[in-house]
Chain A
Amino acid sequence: MRRLLAILLLMIPLGARAQEEVVLGLSSDRVSITTSFDGSEILIFGAVKRETPILPEPLEVVITVAGPSHPVLVRRKAHRFGIWVNAEAVEVDAAPSFYAVATTGAWKDVLTDTEDLRHKVSIGRAIRSVGAPMEIRDAPHFSEALVRIRQQAGLYQMLEGKVALDQQTLFRTAIDMPADLTEGDYTARIFLTRQGKVVSQYETTIDVRKVGLERWLFVLSRQQPILYGLMSLAIAIVAGWGASAAFTMLRNR
């Protein structure tokens, strides 16, 4: 009985912490990829709901958006026989196709390394890489290269200080998604932190889907490949014949 009481007493501060909750809004919970799709901006905004007075330590907000994860093969070129060829390769077991992290402040102030490790928030931690081949000593270089290449393509984004926080209650950020998005369920996570510790977290999904003609063509190419191939050929031949006929008509006139 005494032990139970002790546990209950221990839980009180934890309970008090969790009293801060996220109430979230998204500008849209689905991104539709149409023929004229050239990227999208998602507005993530929300409020911190609490029943106790605001604590003296400043509140920080970390927001992440992650695309579906896939294994990626990272190859490195080497100079062999006078030409540059792909030599070593390391497989990164899971790397999100898109990943953005936005924070209210400098990275070192908003999240401790331990919490980052636990929740896998930073770009480097969001990638899972185990089991590089034994003969490759510098495996970290390969995952660094993966991050570098995707950062240059705008697929991985580190947005320090890009979350606006008013009155320690209202927060908002905008995340740019590039044109070459992979379809799937994107996960948006919001962490509330105090002194680098996560006090509350919230998760929701954003549906990124091809729609209309895009969707129809994509599905057809996967489910009816023969029909799709024949249709491609038919369009090619009709277009070729049409152009030829049009030019003959123009010339004879």
Chain B
Amino acid sequence: MQVYLPIAEVSVSAFLLLGLGGLVGVLSGMFGVGGGFLMTPLLFFIGIPPAVAVATEANQIVASSFSGVLAHFRRRTVDIKMGLVLQAGGLIGAALGVVIFNYLRSLGQVDLLVRLCYVVFLGVVGGLMFLESLRALRKARGATGPTPKRRQRGWVHALPFKMRFRTSGLYISVIPPIGIGIAVGILAAIMGVGGGFIMVPAMIYLLGMPTKVVVGTSLFQIILVTGFTTMLHATTNYTVDIVLAVLLLVGGVIGAQIGTRIGLKLKAEQLRILLALMVLVVCGRLAADLLLQPAELYSLGPAGGH
């Protein structure tokens, strides 16, 4: 069944969109990532104009994250206090990101920069997570008993403005979470993603939050940042396609529910190694686009913007 999208001005199969939404929704629920880093390139691939894909994806992430976070709320695996601190940083970051994005657009080459951002960040994050999870898996297998977790006591714990985050069992300064929020907000606005794939490892490795809480908190934080991004796109570029969003989110919210349940059955190390592999696959695909000679050297775009 073909459906005509009013803003994107293309006609695509409704079942394809539902399927894509569902698939990405499962991953979103499992890993606590918005899935934007996967969905946005997939939408480009089926012929949705990039500007519409990015803006609509932000709207769709709101839905799947909201659905996912409710499941986590019931299990009390959301650190609300930490989420709010991260959100404060996220909003500042998103606003900064839009300024940077517009500046880059005035220089041209914004597509290239977005792609390079994807390749670099996905590569670094995926690689680090993969190595770390392998090490964790090997340790769990080799050791006779579970080794007690050693808390990192580095510079992160020496900063002022300490705050107690009871759900995470942390007593740390608010500066690192706000900093992470800003950094992720900037990336979210430039790359058109929720930023969960950066946020999750940052919370685990930089803040030392327990993995079970990380997923719910990340989803909680993503909702506000992507909601803000959706409004920015809808009011400045008019590129949010509500029909596309509804189709994606119907598949997405169902997928997210299934994914949350799968995520609870898997061990944290397995979860992390799967996420790392997926991030690396997407990174490899994007890198190949940049490195190999494309079949069509020319591309079309609307003129008048320069």
- Chain A partners chain B: yes
| Chain A interface residues (CB < 8 Å from chain B) | 33-39, 70-79, 82-86, 89, 91-92, 142, 145-146, 148-150, 179-183, 210, 213-215, 217-218, 221-222, 225-226, 228-233, 235-237, 239-245, 247-248
Contact B11 A179 (CB under 8 A): yes
* A231–B242 CB distance below 8 A: yes
A37 near B70: Cβ-Cβ < 8 Å: no
| Chain A positions within 8 Å of B233 at CB level | 229
B161 at the interface (CB under 8 A from A): no
Q: Mark B270-306, 1 if CB is under 8 A from A, else 0.
A: 0000000000000000000111111011111111111
- Name the segment of B144-152, B177-185, B192-200, B248-256 touching the other chain: B248-256
Task: Check if B249 sits within 8 Å of A239, measured CB to CB.
Answer: yes
Chain A residues, CB < 8 A from B4: 33-38, 179, 214
Question: A228, B240: Cβ atoms under 8 Å?
Answer: yes
A230–B7 alpha-carbon span in the complex (Å):
16
Query: What are the 7 tightest A-B residue pairs by CB atom distance, in nearest-first order?
Result: A179-B11, A229-B234, A240-B66, A243-B253, A145-B298, A38-B2, A236-B63
A74's partner among B65, B67, B298 (CB-CB below 8 A) is: B298
7 A-B pairs besides A34-B4, A149-B300, A215-B6 with CB distance below 8 A are A37-B2, A37-B4, A73-B300, A74-B298, A180-B10, A221-B234, A235-B63
Chain B residues contacting A242 (CB-CB under 8 Å) are 253
Interchain CB contact under 8 A, A244 and B235 = no
Residues on B facing A (Cβ under 8 Å): 1-4, 6-7, 9-11, 47, 59-60, 62-68, 70-71, 74, 108-109, 111-112, 227, 230-231, 233-235, 238, 240, 242-243, 245-246, 249-250, 253-254, 256-257, 289-294, 296-306
Do B240 and A232 touch across chains, with their CB atoms under 8 A apart?
A: yes
Task: Give B235 Cβ to nearest chain A Cβ, in Å.
Answer: 4
Whether B63 and A180, one on each chain, are in contact in the complex, defined by CB atoms closer than 8 angstroms, is no
Q: Which residue of A lies closest to B237 (CB)?
A: A225
Considering the complex, give the chain B residue whose CB is closest to the CB of A183: B9
Q: Given the complex of chains A and B, what is the CA–CA distance between A194 and B256 in angstroms? A: 66
Closest to A225 in B: B235
Report Cα–Cα, A229/B11, bound state, in Å.
22
The answer to whether B246 and A235 have CB atoms under 8 Å apart is: yes
A37-B11, A221-B238, A248-B74 as given contacts; A86 in contact with B109, CB under 8 Å = yes
A243 touching B256 in the complex, CB below 8 Å, given contacts A74-B298, A83-B291: yes
Determine whether the beta carbon of B63 is less than 8 Å from that of A179.
no
Contacting residues, chain B, for A78 (C-beta < 8 A)? 297
Interfacial chain B residues near A73, Cβ < 8 Å: 300-303, 305-306
Least CB distance from A153 to B in Å reads: 9
Chain A residue at smallest Cβ distance from B233: A229
Q: Enumerate chain B residues within 8 angstroms of A239, measured Cβ to Cβ.
A: 63, 67, 246, 249-250, 253
- Closest B residue to A220 by beta carbon equals B242
Q: Which A residues are in CB contact (< 8 Å) with B253?
A: 239-240, 242-244
Beta-carbon nearest neighbor of B7 in chain A: A221
**Complex contacts, A233 vs chain B, CB 8 Å:** 59, 62, 227, 230-231
Q: Which residues of B contact A148 (CB under 8 A)?
A: 298
**Are B298 and A76 in contact, CB atoms less than 8 angstroms apart?**
yes
Q: Which A residues are CB-close (under 8 A) to B297?
A: 76-78, 145
Q: Which residues of A contact B243 (CB under 8 A)?
A: 35, 217
In the assembled complex, the Cα of A217 lies from the Cα of B242 at a distance in Å of 8
- A38 lies within 8 A of B300 (CB): no
The answer, among B10, B66, B235, for a CB contact under 8 Å with A237, is B66
Q: Would A232 and B59 be within 8 Å (CB), given that A35-B3, A73-B302 are in contact?
A: yes
The answer to whether B250 and A83 have CB atoms under 8 Å apart is no
Which residue of chain A has the shortest Cβ distance to B293 in the bound complex?
Answer: A84
A229 touches B6 (CB 8 A): no
A86 CA to B47 CA, complexed, in Å = 19
Query: Given the complex of chains A and B, what is the CA–CA distance between A235 and B109 in angstroms?
Result: 34
Determine the distance from Cα of A205 to Cα of B128 in the docked complex, in whole angstroms: 60
A230 nearest CB neighbor, chain B only: B231
CA separation between A231 and B241, bound complex, in Å?
11
- A244's nearest neighbour on chain B, judged by CB, is B70
Find A228's partner among B1, B234, B249 (CB 8 Å cutoff): B234
- Given A229-B235, A233-B227, A237-B62, verify A243-B303 contact (CB < 8 Å): no
Tell me whether B300 and A71 are in contact (CB under 8 A): no
Q: Report the bound CA distance from A181 to B11 in whole Å.
A: 9
Q: How far is the CB of A183 from chain B (nearest CB, A)?
A: 8
Residues of B contacting A38 with CB < 8 Å? 2, 4, 11
Q: Is the CB of A210 within 8 A of B60?
A: no
Please state if B67 and A244 are interface contacts (CB–CB under 8 Å): yes
A75's closest neighbor in chain B, by CB?
B299
The CA-CA distance from A92 to B292 in the complex, in Å, is 27
Q: Which A residues are CB-close (under 8 A) to B68?
A: 240
User: Which residues of chain B are near A150, meaning CB under 8 Å?
Assistant: 300
With CB as the reference atom, state the residue of chain A lying closest to B2. Answer: A38
Q: Contact at A86–B112, with CB atoms within 8 Å? A: yes
Subset of 22 A-B contacts with CB under 8 Å: A37-B11, A38-B2, A71-B304, A72-B303, A83-B290, A83-B291, A86-B111, A86-B299, A91-B303, A145-B296, A148-B298, A150-B300, A179-B10, A180-B9, A213-B6, A229-B230, A229-B231, A233-B227, A239-B253, A240-B67, A243-B67, A243-B254
